[in-house]
Structure 1
């Protein structure tokens, strides 16, 4: 199974975990971040990212994401996760719609870091949708669906193409 399929599966599980909070009860695994980190460089990194996403995330008033679990939040990989989530991925509906539009016209397979950041943007939109009221909830949900469609297209496209770096 390719890493993109695994990430997509993890995203689905995370989305379901928000719908079913008891699914988040999960045993946890017992320097500064690079300027543009990639969170998944190995299967262990993918598993750690999964742990971060299953640990309850919090969005503060300044729209900064953080991991509530202090032990997980203290890990070096968590600092990279913080950098990606708070300094790289788009946070406003307008920025996310722009990203979706760019992705829908993207002529080749996404690079690993672009795929990863799009998945994290989807996680962010799902969290925002879950915590919003009617009109805003609809906007966040539409953004989530647009990102989902873009990633689905990328997954289908990647079956026959190799990424261009």
Structure 2
């Protein structure tokens, strides 16, 4: 008969591996969503799209030529009527506080997205698309060739992540 002492270390290793895998899965793709600077509880982990109407509105805003940029204001919507809508406030918070802006943060995000084996949540998909928009707009403004190559890689990886997620659906 095999003693329990032999199995104990194996069980501990197995359980710690399972725990680490579980914590890795729960790791937030967009940690800034839980650290909103404005201090309003209702804006913690903000989501713009809650209905089909919101999806259509976001599409219309993107088509109007919305710019996500560094500085103040963070988000520019050329269509004054769209820009004046109250629901656009959450989109501004997402673009200002949640969407990663630094190349290193975007690379971390793309690495996590590449390893992902399940579909993104609706909220994470929305944020990934907005990160793709920001990255593409940043790439268009760059003149330094090295920076352009680095941002091009990130744009391509974000595009692959969106494409992969659409195949899951």
State whether TM-score is above 0.5.
yes
- When residues 33 and 132 of structure 1 are mapped into structure 2, their CA distance, relative to the original with a 3 A threshold, is farther
| Unmatched 5+ stretches in structure 1 | 1-31, 160-165
- When residues 56 and 152 of structure 1 are mapped into structure 2, their CA distance, relative to the original with a 3 A threshold, is closer
Q: Distance in 2 between matches of 1:60 and 1:117?
A: 17
Q: Distance in 1 between matches of 2:102 and 2:73?
A: 9
Q: Does 1:56 align with 2:65?
A: yes
Aligned residues: 127
In the TM superposition, residue 60 of structure 1 has moved relative to its aligned partner by 4.3
Runs of 4+ in structure 1 off by over 4 angstroms are none
Q: Distance in 1 between matches of 2:110 and 2:130?
A: 13
SS in 2 for 1:76: coil
Aligned Cα root-mean-square deviation (Å) = 2.1
Q: What is the aligned partner in structure 1 of residue 156 from structure 2?
A: 145
Q: Does 1:71 align with 2:81?
A: yes
In the alignment, which of 36, 41, 47 is matched to residue 45 of structure 2?
36
In the TM superposition, residue 83 of structure 1 has moved relative to its aligned partner by 0.7
Are 1:33 and 1:80, in contact at CA under 8 Å, matched by a contact in 2? no
In the TM superposition, residue 92 of structure 1 has moved relative to its aligned partner by 0.9
TM-score by length of 1: 0.69
TM-score by length of 2: 0.67
